[in-house]
Amino acid sequence: MKLTGFDGRRAFVTGAAGGIGLAAVRLLHEAGAMVTATDLPAALETLPTDATDLARWEPLDVSDPEAVTKAIARAEAGGPLTLGLHAAGALFLSSMLETPAEDWRRIFDINTHGTFFVTQALGRVMAPRGTGAIVAVASNSAGIPRLGMGGYPASKAAAAMAVRCLGLELGQHGVRCNLVNPGSTLTPMQTGMWDDAESGAAGVIRGSLDSFKSGIPLGKLATPEDIARAAIFLLSDEAGHITMADLYVDGGATQRA
């Protein structure tokens, strides 16, 4: 079955220059969507050359609400946005006892406040038209405590609830809001925590009793495309009666229904 609801429609993507965001931009482009893709200026400088023609690229710091509103207004100038994918996020590694206040504020500025600013702004332009679909990338850590990750799980949990509350409000306007919760995925965010690729991947798949972290029953890490495909499904017409859903895409790591 081919997913539908993309050809000729306009999409807005954050965190688009790499990982899950870039994989989603490629899929949206292939499906016929016209994409406005955003990321931090430094990330856009490392954009693969084969990605430049997939979308209209713009710099954006999602923690700046005014910049978010202006970016969506510029995207809307070309036609109404009906699809939104928020994939921007950040990870700081630290124990809860040692996390500096500025790091705690920054992780919430990006992961929680940024999610709210982007999904709120998308909802505001979609609601009056009575149609649209928004997906935010959260994390399976939003539902299970983790050691050594500072405020990351907390910021993702708060972001997830914000999106679900927004979905409850936007449902009466015909706009759907859903979440994709990745587990360990082969992105720079994940591999940056490893000493080397081989032992790092094996350790994640195996899990660790010492750190109270379960392994991955499916026996492999996700690829960015695995997560992006789940997000694209939730944006598609085939998911037309799905809203406020938490879709865990983690190979069974959280053992969650």
Q: Does residue 248 carry a catalytic annotation?
A: no
Measured over the CA atoms of residue 189, residue 193, residue 199 and residue 205, the dihedral's sign is negative
Nearest to 157 by CA among 169, 170, 139: 139
- Among the listed residues 152, 159, 180, 230, the single catalytic one is 152
| Tokens matching residue 4 | 């539908």
Smallest CA-to-CA distance from 15 within 165, 182, 217 is with 182
The whole-angstrom distance between residue 4's C-alpha and the CA centroid of its chain comes to 21
Torsion of CA 29, 32, 38, 43, to 10 degrees: 10
- State the Cα–Cα distance between residues 17 and 46, nearest whole angstrom: 8
- 136 bridge partner residues: 86, 179
The encoded tokens of residue 233 equal 């499904």
Active site members: 152
